[in-house]
Amino acid sequence: MSDIVLGVGASHSTLMNTHWDQVVHIDRAEAFRDALGTARRRIAEARPDVAVIVGSNHFRGFWLDLIPAFTLGVGEVVAAGESGTPKGPQRTDPEFAQALAADLVEAGTEVAISARLQIDHGQSHAIQYLLDGLDVPVVPLVVNVFARPLPTPARCVRLGENLAAAVGRIAAGRRVVVIASGGLSHRLPWPSDWTDPHGDDETFLVDAWINGRGEWERYDKRRREIIVAARPTIFPEFDRTFLDDLEQGRLRRYASMTTDEVESAAGNGGQELRAWLVMAAALGFIPGTPLVYAPMPEWLTGMGVAVLDPGASGEPR
């Protein structure tokens, strides 16, 4: 059998790569960067054979012509490389990924599969900062968090629970780290409902989401301008409560939230917290350790890092 030996949750933002010199709250930015370094060391100490990265895709690998609720990369994985994130083919473990997909489907969690999956910073940010230099193969698990209708938080919890069971049934003896990439609260300058865009910018973005397959770069310059010009909207009270619930092992309570409730409480970018629910459920909702919370208006996001360690909870590693 294989074992999940560590869970990590970490926010992402490409503005960390491209706009560091414009940061005003430099102490918060450095604290977040340092927490990523701490999480990376914890991953290294866990000696993983593979990392399952649960995250989003910002319409560079998926478009509205086809966007499943959950997609598992079971073959080649190629990073888009936008804004200073990793680019090109990533190291993978197709045998493990294919066994994982088969077991999940047998357990009743239908995941789409991709033999050539393009990821963006929704997952490559984690590769860049959490797996740098570790040479750990990755299995991306992409959750649709932007194109409604979204999978419910409750369904994401079931995915995480079935992920843990599937890992336990795979006889490869691999040590697995589950990384959740995304969140915390933020509001993107995107239409919350792609069927009802308002104004030229939202209309442009929906056009990019529908027609971007194979040529996302054509849309990327204006996309970037729209994002950089956005007014920051962060919900620190929600973020701190979420991290406190993680510390107390209470994240299961978020499974009852609706998509509208998540957006009201944490913004449309807060829908990425589904990745944290998948990860926490895969770790059995054990109490975790928040490493940092840094509200970063310069990066449009409430940035957090946390670790869930079964060994620290008395569970086998």
Residues identified as active-site: 121, 186
Burial class (CB in 10 A: 0-12, 13-18, 19+), 66: exposed
CB-CB contact of 210 with 204 (8 Å): no
Residue 168, both tokens: 């336990």
Amino acid making up residue 315: E
The phi and psi torsions of 137 (rounded to 5 degrees) equal: -65, 150
- Give the separation between CA 212 and CA 63, rounded to whole angstroms: 7
Residue 79, both tokens: 């990073």
What HEC string does 144-208 produce? CCCCCCCCCHHHHHHHHHHHHHHHHHCCCCCEEEEEEECCCCCCCCCCCCCCCCCHHHHHHHHHH
Q: Other C-beta atoms within 10 Å of 222: how many? A: 13
Residue 277, both tokens: 């629910």
Q: Is the dihedral of CA 179, 281, 305, 23 positive or negative?
A: positive
- Give the separation between CA 150 and CA 257, rounded to whole angstroms: 12
Amino acid making up residue 222: R
